[in-house]
Amino acid sequence: MAKSSASSETQITIEPPRFDRPEVEIRASTRRKKTGNAHWSGSRIVVQIPARVRGRERRAFVDELVERLLTQRPQNAGGDGALEERAHVLAELYNDGILPVSVRWVTNQQARWASCSPGTREIRVSSRLRQCPEWVIDAVLVHELAHLQEADHSAKFYELADRHPRQNDSALYLDGYALGLGLRIESDVDAS
């Protein structure tokens, strides 16, 4: 039923969708020691767990993470810590593990959804995005993370950013959101 593939550090198992939950990808990593994490990737839920958690314990661990994700509101309540943790998960999935120095919510960006200073490796995300679905925030984070590798909006940049499967949906969503808020959005890269 579930198919597995193994690598040196991470074992991936895909569970097909059920009536009460979407497809779940379980990534059991030897690098993870205690905590787990679940997030949306397109229409699939990706769960990251420590490889040492096995059997029934693993089943319960995964179920709890999936349940928590399915019942939580779009991450309005999350602070900088949650945002940063999410960025790190996404960096591992989509940005070759290249991490920013800091990721935080800011309230002083009226004309940008987010910004990245490639020089100082800082990412800031407008608190206006707290109202948006998680997948939109994810796509924005992946976009900003890609700037750590490619400062400009070059073809190579879009190859990186578009690894997130809903990058185009996110751009459309945010265009509509900006229209609704009467905002004119500016470029997101700081010269530094």
Please report where in the chains the tokens 């400009």 appear, as a residue. 152
User: Which of these ranges, 25-33, 82-90, 95-103, 181-189, lies near Zn ion under the rule CB under 5 A?
Assistant: 181-189
Question: Which among 58, 56, 57, 44 has a CA at the least distance from the CA of 11?
Answer: 58
- Distance in Å, CB of 173 to Zn ion, minimum: 16
SS3 assignment, position 28: strand
User: Which residue's beta carbon is nearest to the bound Zn ion?
Assistant: 188
Q: How far is the CB of 12 from Zn ion (least distance, A)?
A: 30
Answer yes or no whether residue 122 interacts with Zn ion by CB under 5 A: no
Binding mask 133-172 for Zn ion (x = CB under 5 A): ----------------------------------------
CA distance 102 to 91: 13
Q: Which of 66, 107, 101 is nearest to 84 (CA)?
A: 101
The least CB distance from residue 40 to Zn ion, in Å, is: 21
Give the residue with the Cβ less far from Zn ion, 89 or 146.
146
Q: Could you tell me which residues come within 8 angstroms of residue 40 by beta carbon, excluding any fewer than 6 positions away?
A: 46, 69, 134, 135, 138
| Binds Zn ion (CB under 5 A): choice among 15, 122, 138, 188 | 188
Whole-angstrom distance, CA of residue 27 vs CA of residue 29: 6
- The span of 67-75, 93-101, 128-136, 182-190 binding Zn ion (CB under 5 A) equals 182-190
Shorter beta-carbon distance to Zn ion: residue 14 or 178: 178
